[in-house]
């Protein structure tokens, strides 16, 4: 069986990435609570049935602050996607810290030491 995502899944992933990126750039309300935060979306993965989406990102805040950010702004991001995305289902999103970036930095530092 083919495990590659379909064209529709990729299209939804790109739409979600664009919407969340625009939200993080245009809505600066979160900067009042987290003034030094910087986000970078590395990847968006949507399930095959388009009901769930994981947004992988890199940030420069502590884990506790990231949990607080999730609690305060995840619903607002979810509603933005629901209003904008034209599909039968709105994916339930979750923001996840991208561990692969940290791992690549560790590997790079090890290589630099050689």
**pLDDT, averaged in runs of 10, over the chain (114 residues):** 76 94 87 86 92 92 90 92 88 89 77 82
On whether the CB atoms of residues 71 and 51 are closer than 8 A, the answer is no
Question: Three-class SS of residue 50?
Answer: coil
Which domains occur in the chain, in start order? Answer: 7-113 (3.30.300.20)
**pTM for this structure?**
0.82
Helix axes 7-26, 63-84, angle to 10 degrees: 120
On whether the CB atoms of residues 66 and 5 are closer than 8 A, the answer is no
Question: Which helix H or strand E contains 94, and what residues bound it?
Answer: strand 92-97
Question: Three-class SS of residue 59?
Answer: strand
Q: Please give the pLDDT value at position 87.
A: 82
CA dihedral (81, 86, 89, 91) in degrees, to 10, reads -30
Question: Three-class SS of residue 4?
Answer: coil
Q: Please give the pLDDT value at position 2.
A: 57
């Amino acid at each position: 069986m083919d495990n590659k995502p379909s064209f529709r899944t990729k299209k939804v992933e790109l739409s979600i990435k664009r919407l969340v990126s625009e939200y993080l750039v245009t809505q600066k309300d979160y900067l009042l609570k987290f003034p030094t935060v910087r986000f970078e979306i590395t990847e968006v993965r949507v399930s095959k049935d388009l009901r769930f989406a994981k947004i992988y990102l890199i940030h420069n805040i502590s884990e506790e602050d990231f949990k607080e950010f999730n609690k305060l702004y995840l619903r607002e991001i979810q509603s933005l996607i629901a209003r904008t995305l034209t599909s039968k289902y709105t994916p339930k999103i979750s923001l996840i810290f991208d561990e692969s970036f940290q791992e690549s930095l560790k590997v790079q530092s090890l290589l630099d030491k050689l």
